[in-house]
Amino acid sequence: MQANRQSRQPASDAENVLGNYGMLSRRHALILGAAGFFLAGCTPDQPIVEAPPTHTIATLFEQDRFFVAHRGSGDNWPEHTMQAYSQSVQHGVSALEISVNSTSDGVLVCHHDQSALRVTGKDSKVAELTYAELSDLRVDARAWLGPATALEPIPRLRDVLDRFAASHVIFIEDKQGTNTKALLDLMDTYPDSTAHFIWKQPAPALQAAAASKRGYKTWGYFMPDAIPRLDELAARFDYLGVYYTADDATVRKVVAHGKPVICWEIHTRSDADRVSRLGVQGLMCSNVPYLTTSTTESRDRFSTGIRAAGDLPWITDQGWNAQPVIDAASASVVLDRNQNFSYRLGSMGPVTKEIYSLTFEMCWPKELPSELLHAGIAFGQRDDTPYRVLVPSTVGGYHLIIRPTGELVLYRRDPGNPAGTRLQTITTSPVKPGEWMRFKIDVTPPSIRFSRLDGAGWAGETMDREYRGGYISLCKDYPAPVPVQFRGVSVI
């Protein structure tokens, strides 16, 4: 099939222009369109604009570490939409990961689940919907990305490939497992297709052989239940995949096979750094702008109604309802899960100054928890590993908490110590439901000073210097179903 594809003879430019435009192949349309775009912008009085780089499988794996936009970077834009793919490309990724389903009338679309329910609210299988019916639906990612997130259509695979297949590497997966021939036939129609497409599938699936026969590289990803068959299945693939929650020993075992390894789905800088240290080359990433830059925000962005890149709940694989609610009207975020919960403000980290002030406001909007329970803010973490008060963690730091009684306490919590060490306690006025409290933390190399600003100027200070990392988390430190609300988080 590959040899036949390479032997096709293109129609001449004159034939295409004079009457056969409707028969112009996608290969030639892409090539001629790209050439026309760059030539049209050049005049004798203007410098020639260089074409953007073309990313191929060869150039991708030349890099010591590379990023693939998982679902088009679903932590930042509605997953598997043209907006997500376009924004990921604008943020510099070399590769996109695309899941594919087919509608009842045979149209291949970019969509992860076999059901439309999770992302559109329509409780139907994609395979039972016509493309016209699916076109009326919209990807609604507001629960994950914030209430101001736009609703986006589900794109046809053909339209996405027309836009990106000539310039980027595409990891492509048949989620239904029934579209192998149709998908490979479509891939074959693109220029230099074997230089740009990588066939992606669960390691135990059987379609890789068909892709290999057509000259495509293959990536087999290993879920936990497939790891016991690693030695048997790894030989089928050019590249191997390991899940990001795998322990170090498992990651090393996959890497030891000597084939390039790509880890999915990476949400945090700490996970990226961990698997890179273990020998993983590729990061299939859901949080592209956060992982590929070190830009930090000086204050929260709750007022925008859009979740800032890097702001994530402590756990990312329990569905969209794991995200706390952003209330743009009050410029706040509400932690309302019925569990001990933390929310990492990765967008504001790392704070790199030796001397800075951290300010925030907090309230219990409807009712107070019992007087021994508490909430507050954690800071000083060396990286963005999840930090949950009263739960053992691998990362240390400080947390400032307040109880409904008004007791304000600064704790230091060392790795492995769930309770923490009480450093300083001050008594402030009792908390009232719906009343916003204001706090300030002043960090210097030798000391930490903390204060409550909405009353008599209560303040405390400690000379503890153990942790001066730059990451921050908002914390609801109890499982009771009593929400707590934060706003006005800023670093000065």
Q: Encode pLDDT of 337-355 as tens digits.
A: 999 999 999 999 999 999 9
Query: Which amino acid makes up residue 222?
Result: F
- pLDDT bin (cut points 50, 70, 90) of residue 2 is very low
Choice among 45-49, 126-130, 398-402, 473-477 with the minimum mean pLDDT = 45-49
pLDDT of residue 181: 98
pLDDT in tens, 357-384: 999 999 999 999 999 999 999 999 999 9
pLDDT of residue 44: 47
pLDDT of residue 46: 63
pLDDT more than 70, % of the chain: 90
pLDDT more than 90, % of the chain: 85
- pLDDT bin (cut points 50, 70, 90) of residue 22 is very low
- pLDDT bin (cut points 50, 70, 90) of residue 53 is confident
Please tell me the distance from the alpha carbon of residue 286 to that of residue 121, in angstroms, as a whole number.
Answer: 22
Choice among 26-35, 145-154, 260-269 with the minimum mean pLDDT = 26-35
Q: Which of residues 1 and 370 earns the better pLDDT score? A: 370
pLDDT in tens, 415-445: 988 889 999 999 999 999 999 999 999 999 9
- pLDDT bin (cut points 50, 70, 90) of residue 334 is very high
pLDDT in tens, 179-206: 999 999 999 999 999 999 999 999 999 9
- pLDDT bin (cut points 50, 70, 90) of residue 59 is very high
pLDDT in tens, 248-262: 999 999 999 999 999
pLDDT in tens, 272-322: 999 999 999 999 999 999 999 988 999 999 999 999 999 999 999 888 989
What rounded mean pLDDT belongs to the chain? 91
